Amino acid sequence: MDLGELHKQAAALQAQGNAAAAAQIYRQILDSGQSDFTACHQLGIIHAQMGQFEIALQFMGAALRANPDAADAWSNQGNVLGAMGRSEEAVASHDRALALNPAYAVALTNRSAALRELGRFEEALDSCERALAIDVTLVEAHNNRAAALGDLKRYAEALTSYDHALALSPECVAALYNRGNTLRHLNRHADALASYARALALAPQDAEILINRAATLHHLKRFEPALASYDRALALRPQDLETLNNRGVVLADMLRFDEALASFDAVLKLNPDYAESHYSRAVTLSYLGRFEEALAGFDRALAIRPVYEEALYERGHALAALGREEEAADSHARALAARKDFADAPADAGISESEREAALASFDDYAGLDGR
């Protein structure tokens, strides 16, 4: 069979979703001694789809040695590098693609994802705007534009961009999911639940959607469905520490304290240094009036994470309940000082703005502060 026929066969198999059979034919081409761009490029794509990024990168490199002017191969190599966490190199690879084809909207879109990973949100947004100026029907460009707007806290604009994506592709799970997250930022929690429900109808086994749905239900104090959603997520990812911990918090809010403690203990069995579960367990013990045990738990959480405002504050309550008023006042003062240090931390301190805001809001909830 000649080379053209082999390429046709392999492409047909890929189109049918039979990547393994297509890969066999591409390898057959390469085993014949051919330095074949298409075979190398497609094997790179196939291995990337399988999550085998090191192998994918080798094939992409071979493809580009065979044809260094292939813009699509440079962009696909950028995608592989991005998946490997090598974002600077990913941007450079997309830039090589764009040097060859400045109107390559897909490369501009993929470049934006790498720029977001580097925290270069304005550039990511600009890259998407350029892509959409070339092809306004590019769903992924609308999605990435929305994500960049979300990074910049321009949530209303992000929502509009997700809606544009969904107008083009109503069953785009990523857009529905991220739209739900954006609605939560806008405090439109009921609408967020509706967006998650649409996403789950299309992807019922997606643990991330289930987790965010559960968190939204918890916020709305709909504890039973929140617990059910966390349980569905844990059936898919049984060792997800954050989800196990949050499940325990829901159980505690339902006054099912023994089950809550069991959930926290399950986390600590998997990771004895998970500070959040030491803290959550200690709060639950405080509810039960077991203040000595609670104090030990807060101290363990603080040994792992010394600047933990909520733990310092709740530790103060436990000390007060034990009649240790001076120590309680000191713990509360340390909590308030830690909050101020955290709020005033410089931008290069390794704390993202979203982490800072979430942590301060969480602490202010506990301490009854207004954040000033």
pLDDT tens-place values along the chain, 372 residues long: 577 778 788 888 888 888 888 888 888 888 877 778 988 999 999 999 999 999 999 999 999 999 999 999 999 999 999 999 999 999 999 999 999 999 999 999 999 999 999 999 999 999 999 999 999 999 999 999 999 999 999 999 999 999 999 999 999 999 999 999 999 999 999 999 999 999 999 999 999 999 999 999 999 999 999 999 999 999 999 999 999 999 999 999 999 999 999 999 999 999 999 999 999 999 999 999 999 999 999 999 999 999 899 999 999 999 999 999 999 999 988 888 877 654 444 443 333 444 445 444 544 554 444 332
pLDDT of the residue at 1: 56
Per residue in 338-367, pLDDT (tens digit) is 776 544 444 433 334 444 454 445 445 544
Gap between the Cα atoms of 237 and 234, Å rounded: 5
For the question of whether the overall pTM of this predicted structure is more than 0.85, the answer is no
Q: For residue 370, report the phi and psi dihedrals to the nearest 5 degrees.
A: -105, 5
Q: What are phi and psi of 355, to 5 degrees?
A: -65, -45
Using alpha carbons, select from 58, 174, 69 the residue that is nearest to residue 113: 174
Scanning the structure block, which residue is given the tokens 């998650």? 196
pLDDT given for residue 358 in this prediction: 47
Closest CA to 178 of 168, 187, 166, 190: 166
Q: Which pLDDT belongs to residue 338?
A: 76
Q: What angle do CA 338, 340, 346 make, to 5 degrees?
A: 100
The pLDDT of residue 23? 85
Report the distance separating Cα 372 and Cα 368, nearest Å.
11
- CA-nearest of 338, 345, 326, 346 to 362 is 338
Residue 126 neighbours by CB under 8 Å, 6+ apart? none
Residues 6+ positions from 290 with CB-CB distance below 8 Å: none
Paired tokens of 152: 């910049």
Kindly give, in sequence order, each residue whose CB lies less than 8 Å from that of residue 213, ignoring residues fewer than 6 positions away.
Answer: 180, 193, 196, 197, 200, 229
